[in-house]
Every structure is written in C-alpha cells, then in structure tokens.
Structure 1
Amino acid sequence: MRSIVLTTALLALGLAACGHNVEQRAATGAAAGLVIAGPLGAAVGAGVGTVISKSNDKK
C-alpha cells in the first residue's frame, strides 16, 4: 500500500504541473491519482497539484 501511495504522489507531482491555474493543476493531479490508487490517490493528487500551483505562482 505504501508503494502505491508513493507512486501516486510521484505521478501526481509530475502531472500536477499541467495546467494554467490552481483548479486545472489540482484536477490533473486528482485524475492521475484516481487512476492509480482510487479515492486516496485522488486526494493526494489534488493536494500535490495545489501545492505545485502555489509554489509556481510565487515565482
């Protein structure tokens, strides 16, 4: 289970940069996470997408 969550987080991190705003990045991360690990993966992916977006916006 731990490896699935880690894989989901890494995949979501890579895909979370896709998009132009917070909502698009969170949705992309959530979709990737959902495909890999179901509802838990969707939550992790959405969180990663939001964090990536906030860090990109500060630059």
Structure 2
Amino acid sequence: MTNLWTRRLNHLGLAAAVLTLSGLGACGSMSGRDQNTATGAVIGGAAGAILTGGSTAGTVGGAVVGGVIGNKVDPNKK
C-alpha cells in the first residue's frame, strides 16, 4: 500500500512541476518584476509545502513570502 501512495505522490509532484513550468511559459509578456514575483511565489510555495509537510497554511505562507521577496529583487541591479 505504501508503494502505491509513493507512486501517486511522485506522479502528483511531476504533474505539478509540468503545470508550473507551462504556466511560467506564459510569462513572456510580463515585466521582470512580475516574473520575479511569480517565480518567488512558486518557489516559496514549494518550500513552504516541503517544510510543513504539505499543510495549506505553510504552502500559502511560503508563496506569499516568496512573492514578496521576488517582487523586491531588482533584475536591473548590478
């Protein structure tokens, strides 16, 4: 039974990654700041989910924090 759940979770993770990457493909018309915000939210949400064992609050909290950090990153700063 454990192997079945592990395989399902692996497939779910792969599907989430594919959907995320295909969604980010639509970022071509977004500004650099908008792209950074979206990327930060995705990475933060994934990190929050991993660190909290998949809790909704951890995922949403991570996405919010990641989005704010991504928004503050200046792509033109050298």
Under a length normalisation based on structure 2, what TM-score does the superposition of the two structures give?
Answer: 0.43
Separation in 2, partners of 1:54, 1:23: 8
Larger Rg over CA atoms: 2
- Aligned residue in 2 for 1:16: none
Higher relative contact order (CA 8 A, sep 6+): 1
Q: For residue 48 of structure 1, what is the amino acid of its counterpart?
A: V
Stretches (4+) displaced over 6 A? none
- Aligned residue in 2 for 1:44: 61
Provide the aligned C-alpha RMSD in A: 2.0
Structure 1 unmatched ranges of 5 or more: 1-19
Structure 2 unmatched ranges of 5 or more: 1-34
Matched, 1:29 2:44: yes
Report sequence identity in percent. Answer: 38
The total of aligned residue pairs comes to 40
Separation in 1, partners of 2:42, 2:51: 14
